Amino acid sequence: CFQIFQHLHEHFSVEHFSHSCSLSPGCPGPCPCRIFVVGIGFFSLCFLMTSLGGQFSAKRPGDTPFTMRAEVLGGPESRGVLRKISDMLEVIMKRMDTLSKLGNTTTDSHRLDELSSALDRIQPIGLVERIQAIAQNMSDMAVRVEQILQRSMANNRVKDGTTGQCEVPKDPHYPDCPSKVDWMRARWTSDPCYAFYGVDGSDCSFLIYLSEVEWFCPPLTWRNQTTTPTHKPFPKRQSAFRSDIEALLEQVGTGKESLSFMKRRMRRLTAQWASAARRLDDSLRSQWREQKRILVHVGFLTEESGDVFSPKVLKGGPLGEMVQWADILTALHVLGHNLKISVSLKELQGFLGVPPGRGSCPLTGPLPFDLIYTDYHGLQQMRQHMGLSLRKHKCHIRVIDTFGTEPAYNHEDYATLHGYRTNWGYWNLNCRQYMTMFPHTPDNSFMGFVAEELNGTERLSIQRNKVDSMAVVYGKEASMWKGKERFLAILHRYMDIHGTVYYETQRPPEVPAFVKNHGLLPQQELQQLLRKAKLFIGFGFPYEGPAPLEAIANGCIFLQPKFKPSHSSLNHEFFRGKPTSRQVSSQHPYAEQYIGRPHVITVDFNNSQEFESAIRDIMRTKVEPYLPYEYTCEGMLERVHAYIQNQVGFWPGSPPSPFVLLPNSSALAWASNISTPPSWPPLSALRLLASLEGQSCIDACQSAGLICEPAFYRFINIKEAFNGLEVQCEGVEAEMNHIFPAFSVESSECGLQKDRLLFSCAGANTKYHRLCPCRDYRKGQVALCRDCL
C-alpha cells in the first residue's frame, strides 16, 4: 500500500502540469474524482491491513506481557507508517483540488491521456467500484475493528497480568503487601530502577515487582515461575600464596596522591610480605585454602565522601588509615584471593551490578563476592545503592573501623532507646564484622597493620649509631605543638629535639627555636631519623596511630602522656560521636598495655617532676628494636587467613551447655566427654568466669591472663552457666541488656541475653557480676587462640 501511494504521489505532482488544462466531465483522462476514490480506497486497505495485521501478529509464543502490549497498541514504527500514508493522502487531495481549479487549456493534455491509460492498465475490472464500496463502509468497519482490538487487548492483559485490575492480596504471611502497593502507586516514578524492572504504573506490575524482585507480596499464581533463572554456585578454587605484587599495584590504579602513597608502601614491603608468605605456607603444611572472591571498596577515598585524605598526604595529614588499607590489600593479595578494588562510586556500582537509578531497588542476582571489605563511608554508599539487598547480604561485609564499635552502639533500636545512638554505628551487624587497627575490644575483630621488620645487620647498625641525646617529636602539624613549651623546655635540657612539621617555604611553623625541624619527610627518610634517635615523644594526639610502633621497631623509647581522667566520648570532643564507651588512658593504650616498659613509658606530663624523672630514666636505659609479632607481615597474614577461612556462621542457636570446674581454679570449662558443636575458636579454649561487680568482661578475663571471646557467649547464655558457678538465682529472665548474661548477688537476680547482637565484652554495671567467656591466646597474637590455626 505504501509503495502504491508513493507511486501516486510521484505521478500526480503539480509539476507534471506546467500549464493549466481543461477537463470536461466526460473526458477519459484521470479525473480528480477518480483519483480521490483511488486514494481513499488504498488508504482504507492499508488501514485494514495495518490494524488487522497488528491484531493477528501481535501475540507470538514466548512473548512477555510487556512486549505484547507494546505491539498491540502500536509501536513507533507502525504509527510512523500510518502518519506517512495520511500525510501523502492529504497532499494528493490538495493537489486534486488544485487540478480541479485549473483553466480550460489543452496544453499537455496528452500527458493526462498517457497517465489515464497507465492507470487503467493497473486497475482490475471493477476495482474502482469495489474501492468505492469499501470507502462507503469504512466508518462502520473502523469502529468494529477498534472494538475487536480493545476486547482482545483487555483479555490478554488480564490473562498476563499487565492491567491495573489485579487484586491486591491480603495474605497474613505478607502483611506489608497492601501498604507497599500503596507506596508504589504514589512513588513508583521516584526512581528509574522500578521501570527498569518492568513497573509501568499498573497494580499488576506493582505486584510482579513486589513478589519477584522484592519479597513483600506472595508469588502470583498466573505468573510462569519456571522461567526464573537458576544461578549455579561459583566453583570452589584453591588459593595459592603470591610473592609478586605487580598485578595488585596495577589494580590499585593512579590519579590520587593517596593511592600513590599506598603503592609506595606496598613496593617497600614487598620482600617482607614474600618472606612471611613462605613461612606461613610452611606452618600450614600446604593446608587446603579456599580462594575467596573479595571486593575491597575504600569509601573514604571516593570523591562522593569528599576524599579529605588525598590533599593532606603531602601536608602531614593523618596517614594511619592509608597505611592500614595498603596492608590489608597486600595481605589479601599475598594470601592468593581474587580481588576487585573500588575507590569510586561508579566502580562500586559496576562490581555489584546494581540496577540503574537511585538505589531503591535490590539486586536480583547472587552477590558476586564472598566478602566485601569497606569502611563506614563505603557502608553508607552501599546502603544508598543496594537498597534492600544490603540487609540480605550484610553477613558478607567487613567494616574497617579504626576505633571500634561496641554492641550497645551497633544495635539500632537498643542504641536509640538507651542513649547510645551516635553518628556512626547502629548497623545491626555482628560486632566481629568490625575490624580495628588495634585490639581495642574483643567484641570486634582485630585487623591491624604491619611495621617494617629489621634484619640482623640493620639491628646491629642501629645499636652502633644510636644518639642518646636525640629526641624526635610525634607531631606533623604545627597545631599539635601549641601549649607544649613547658615540658619541651625540660626535655631540651637533656636532648636535642627534632621535628617533622609540615610547612610551606613562606610560612615556617610556629615551633620553639631550639627545635630542628626537618619538614615533612618521606617514609624512608623518617625511618633513618628514627634509627638514630633515642626517644620518640608524643604530645597526646593523634590517638593510636602506627608511628609509635614504627619508632619502637627502630629502637626508640616511646614517651607518652597519661590522661587524667581518661578520655572518652563523655568528656572529650574527639571521641564524641564515636560508637564506643572505651576509656582511653593514654595517647596509645596498646603500647602502654601490650608493650610497656622499657620500650614504652607513660607519665603525667602536667607533673614536671615526674616528667623530668622519666627523661633521666630514658637517658640511662638501653633498649633493642622491638616489634610485637601481631604487627609483623607474618602475624597479619596469619590473622587474616584465620578470619577468612573460619569466621563464618555468625548466627547459630544456643546449644546445651555442660560445664565442669577446672582443678585449682574458679573457671569452668566445657566437659571433654560431651560432643562439642562446631565452633571457632574451638570450645576447648573456653573458660567461663564471673566478673567483679562493675567490672567488664575485658578486664575480668585479662586479670586471669585470658582474652574475652564474644563467639562463646552463645554457649554460656543459659541457666546451667549460673548453676555451674553456684550462683543463687531466685529467677532467670531474658532481657535486651548489653550487660547480660549477668547476676546480682544483692537481689539474687539472674539475667540472660535476649538479643544475640548485644553480647558484649565491653559493658559494665556496678549492680551486676557478669558471666564472661574467656579463652587463651597465642604468644604475640591476642586475636587468635592457641588452637585457632
Give the residue among 789, 755, 759 at the shortest CA–CA distance from 773. 759
Residue for grid cell 547459630: 652
Residue for grid cell 580462594: 291
Q: Are residues 435 and 397 in the same domain?
A: yes
Q: Are residues 419 and 442 in the same domain?
A: yes
pLDDT-derived band at 255 (thresholds 50, 70, 90) equals confident
Higher pLDDT, 2 or 507: 507
Share of the chain above pLDDT 90, in %: 55
Contact 149, 51 (CB under 8 A): yes
Q: Are residues 583 and 662 in the same domain?
A: no
pLDDT at 7 over 60: no
CB atoms within 10 A of CB 748: 12
pLDDT at 229 over 60: no
Higher pLDDT, 305 or 418: 418
Local structure of residue 236 (DSSP, 8 states) = P
CATH number reported for the structural domain that contains residue 508 in this entry: 3.40.50.2000
Structural domain contains residue 133: no
Contacts for 747 with CB less than 8 Å, ≥ 6 apart: 730
Contact 54, 78 (CB under 8 A): yes
Q: Are residues 763 and 680 in the same domain?
A: yes
Q: For residues 633 and 623, what is the distance between their CA atoms, to the nearest angstrom?
A: 23
Structural domain contains residue 103: no
Contact 362, 197 (CB under 8 A): no
Q: Are residues 473 and 617 in the same domain?
A: yes
* pLDDT tens for each residue of 269-313: 999 999 999 999 999 987 889 999 999 999 999 988 887 777 777
Report, as an integer, the average pLDDT of 132-155: 48
pLDDT at 142 over 80: no
Contact 454, 553 (CB under 8 A): yes
Q: Are residues 272 and 389 in the same domain?
A: yes
Structural domain for 750, as ranges: 649-775
pLDDT at 499 over 90: yes
Residues in the chain: 789
Give the residue among 714, 699, 643 at the shortest CA–CA distance from 432. 643
pLDDT at 90 over 70: no
- pLDDT in the model for residue 178: 95
Structural domain contains residue 668: yes
pLDDT at 540 over 70: yes
Residue 752 three-state SS: strand
Q: For residues 583 and 595, what is the distance between their CA atoms, to the nearest angstrom?
A: 18
Report, as an integer, the average pLDDT of 134-147: 50
* Number of independent structural domains in the chain: 4
The CA angle 328-333-339, to the nearest 5 degrees, is: 95
pLDDT at 80 over 90: no
- pLDDT in the model for residue 224: 73
pLDDT at 36 over 60: no
Contact 695, 763 (CB under 8 A): no
Report, as an integer, the average pLDDT of 101-112: 46
- pLDDT in the model for residue 692: 95
Contacts for 570 with CB less than 8 Å, ≥ 6 apart: 581
pLDDT at 164 over 90: no
- The three three-digit cell numbers of residue 389, written as one number: 539487598
Report, as an integer, the average pLDDT of 116-120: 48
Contacts for 45 with CB less than 8 Å, ≥ 6 apart: 1, 134
Q: Are residues 409 and 483 in the same domain?
A: no
Structural domain contains residue 788: no
Q: Are residues 516 and 619 in the same domain?
A: yes
Contacts for 776 with CB less than 8 Å, ≥ 6 apart: 685, 687, 706, 707, 785, 786
pLDDT at 710 over 90: yes
Residue 682 identity (one-letter amino acid): P
Report, as an integer, the average pLDDT of 520-532: 90
Higher pLDDT, 425 or 665: 425
* pLDDT tens for each residue of 638-675: 999 999 999 875 544 444 556 666 776 667 676 665 55
Local structure of residue 107 (DSSP, 8 states) = T
pTM for this entry: 0.75
Structural domain contains residue 467: yes
Tell me which of 41-45, 349-353, 594-598, 676-680 is least confident.
41-45
Q: Are residues 577 and 435 in the same domain?
A: no
Domain end: 404, 423, 446, which one? 446
- pLDDT in the model for residue 318: 60
Structural domain contains residue 18: no
Q: Are residues 337 and 386 in the same domain?
A: yes
Q: For residues 559 and 535, what is the distance between their CA atoms, to the nearest angstrom?
A: 7
Residue 208 identity (one-letter amino acid): I
- pLDDT in the model for residue 159: 45
Report, as an integer, the average pLDDT of 23-37: 42
pLDDT-derived band at 365 (thresholds 50, 70, 90) equals confident
pLDDT at 410 over 60: yes
Structural domain contains residue 43: no
Residue 692 identity (one-letter amino acid): L
Residue 616 three-state SS: helix
Tell me which of 60-69, 448-457, 585-594 is least confident.
60-69
pLDDT-derived band at 128 (thresholds 50, 70, 90) equals very low
Structural domain contains residue 152: no
- pLDDT in the model for residue 136: 53
Q: Are residues 498 and 594 in the same domain?
A: yes
Tell me which of 202-211, 249-258, 661-670 is least confident.
661-670
pLDDT at 122 over 50: no
- pLDDT in the model for residue 676: 60
pLDDT-derived band at 175 (thresholds 50, 70, 90) equals very high
- pLDDT in the model for residue 1: 47
Domain end: 422, 446, 470, which one? 446
Higher pLDDT, 28 or 113: 113
Q: Are residues 526 and 415 in the same domain?
A: no
* pLDDT tens for each residue of 232-246: 777 889 999 999 999
Report, as an integer, the average pLDDT of 67-74: 34
Give the residue among 308, 58, 241 at the shortest CA–CA distance from 633. 241
What is the overall mean pLDDT for the chain? 81
- pLDDT in the model for residue 87: 58
Give the residue among 565, 571, 603, 605 at the shortest CA–CA distance from 585. 565
